[in-house]
Amino acid sequence: MEGLRGLLVDLAVIAIFIGGIAQFRTPAGARKGNLTAALAFAIALALLFYRNTIGHMWIVVTAFIVGGGLGYIVSARIGMTRIPALVAFQNGAGGGAACLVSFVELTRGGTDFLAAREVFGYVGLVVGGATLAGSIVAGGKLAGWLRQRPVTLPGHNVALFAFLAAVTTLAILSGGVRDGVGAALTAGIAVAALFLGALFAVRIGGADMPVLISFLNTCSGLAAAFVGVAVGNQMLIAAGAMVGSSGLILTLVMARAMNRRAGSILAGSRLLDASASELDTEVEAPFLADAAVSEASRPSSSPVASADPPVLRARRALARAASVVIVPGYGMAVAQAQRDVAALAAELEKAGKLVRFAVHPVAGRMPGHMHVLLAEAEVDYDKLFEMEAINDDFASTDVALVVGACDVVNPAAMNVENTPISGMPILRVYEAATVIVCNLDDKPGYSGVPNPLYDDPRTIMLLGDAKDTVRELSAGQD
């Protein structure tokens, strides 16, 4: 009866956790979902203390206070531009925790450790260690501490297979060994797993970060689930499995948004960077000639050649426009301009214009990055449209306002082969009557591919800090 009661309690906690995840479908619901999931984890932690005898409680309490305090301080101080790197490091922390717990379970001694649990312990050790190292590399790239482009070493695949073989061999040799030799072999597995994760992540470039982050999220969940089997904790198994499955779905969604196979991205398939000369010959002519609508049929807000400053021409275009689509990108996060963009959108709506936001699935440096920013600026979620829902509307849009985005609106993705963004579906802003670009500069984006949109005569470039340029546009709507 006691066992049945405990099982029902575990299922209730798991149900609360699932209920929290179910609320993540909208930004507003995600806030409640985070609190609901946190409640489930708090209950699970309380049950852990209730059901087990904890030795040296002062160490556990001290670690809890120090870890919780550091987590709060870092999270409170981190800016939105660093959130992707923070997410990567948090994935790594989950993997590192799984690695440590597995190591302790595998080396603590005793003869009651079942063979099946031992196998899952080794798998948790390897997946957790690889996730930790891979997440550190990903976080370093996102934070700008490491080179953004893929790094492929001589014999890279051979080295990966060598470390994988070393991990397998050491696991077989250390199986069932509980003395110092077994601990040393287990430590060797952890070290090999770290190298395996670092080698895996370093060859994935910055343009593919959303896919890598999603995959690392999958790995951290799976590592937790494997550890849950090793220690016999049902709630940890369920929570890890849900995180792993949701991360896998997100990985596939991100890869599909880039029109690439997840396997090829994670395998480090390299694509070459297109030179400026290639873009001149392969993109400019078809891009300008086949812009979907002729100049004669364009809305009246099309820009007229003028010697006026770009900001004045942009203000006039917005004043004449009946419909405006705003395209946010990572540059908006860097400039922390989301609230200014929201204020401009509100002013345009007050003037009777139709204003919508077009969000590309891989805009930013992590899945949902733009949704988080715009939710923070209290933009109504109903005004956010995914690429498939709004792409066909650009041809009838008066003004497309690009704020800090480059790769997701780069026509080179459709016309130039063998680049990091080749074949990736883009937001077709070039079909709008007028395109206003509020970017820091006219240099290539994260992928390193030059953007021919900047040279289109219908594009008005407002270079500089996006917060300043958006405010200049907003001032013109008074």
pLDDT tens digits, one per residue of 52-105: 888 888 898 999 899 999 988 988 888 767 788 888 999 999 999 999 999 998
**Other beta carbons within 10 Å of 218:** 22
Rounded to an integer, what distance in angstroms lies between the CA atom of residue 77 and that of residue 359? 27
Residue 272 has what pLDDT?
A: 47
Residue 265 has what pLDDT?
A: 81
Residue 133 has what pLDDT?
A: 96
Rounded alpha-carbon distances, angstroms, from residue 269 to 89, 137, 415, 445: 24, 18, 20, 20
Q: Which helix (H) or strand (E) holds 256?
A: helix 234-257
Q: Which helix (H) or strand (E) holds 280?
A: helix 276-282
Q: So what's the architecture of 276-475 in CATH?
A: 3-Layer(aba) Sandwich (3.40)
pLDDT tens digits, one per residue of 294-337: 444 444 444 545 568 999 999 999 999 999 999 999 899 889 99
Residue pair 410/449 in contact by the 8 Å Cβ criterion: yes
Q: Which two tokens stand for residue 206?
A: 């910055």
Give the dihedral sign, CA 142/148/150/153.
negative
Name the nearest CA neighbour of 230 among 141, 119, 112.
119
Rounded to an integer, what distance in angstroms lies between the CA atom of residue 472 and that of residue 462? 10
Mean pLDDT by 10 residues, the chain (478 residues): 81 91 79 90 90 86 92 83 85 95 84 74 95 94 82 88 90 73 88 94 83 92 95 90 91 85 77 44 40 43 64 95 96 92 96 97 85 88 93 97 96 86 92 97 87 95 96 81
Residue 422 has what pLDDT?
A: 86
Provide the b/e sequence for 242-268 (b: ≥16 CB within 10 Å): bbbebbbebbebbbebbebebeebbeb
Residue pair 477/345 in contact by the 8 Å Cβ criterion: no
Question: What end-to-end distance do the CA atoms of the chain give, in Å?
Answer: 71
Rounded to an integer, what distance in angstroms lies between the CA atom of residue 32 and that of residue 18? 13
Residue pair 94/223 in contact by the 8 Å Cβ criterion: yes
Give me the active site residues, please. Answer: 407
Residue 113 has what pLDDT?
A: 58
Rounded alpha-carbon distances, angstroms, from residue 478 to 81, 213, 222, 436: 30, 42, 54, 19
Residue where the block lists tokens 């997701």:
408
Residue 279 has what pLDDT?
A: 42
For the chain, domain boundaries: 78-266, 276-475
- Residue 134: alpha-carbon gap to chain centroid: 14
- Following DSSP, what letter does each residue of 168-217 receive, concatenated? HHHHHHHTT--SHHHHHHHHHHHHHHHHHHHHHHHTS-GGGHHHHHHHHH
Give the dihedral sign, CA 115/118/120/123.
negative
Q: What angle do CA 250, 145, 204 make, to 5 degrees?
A: 40
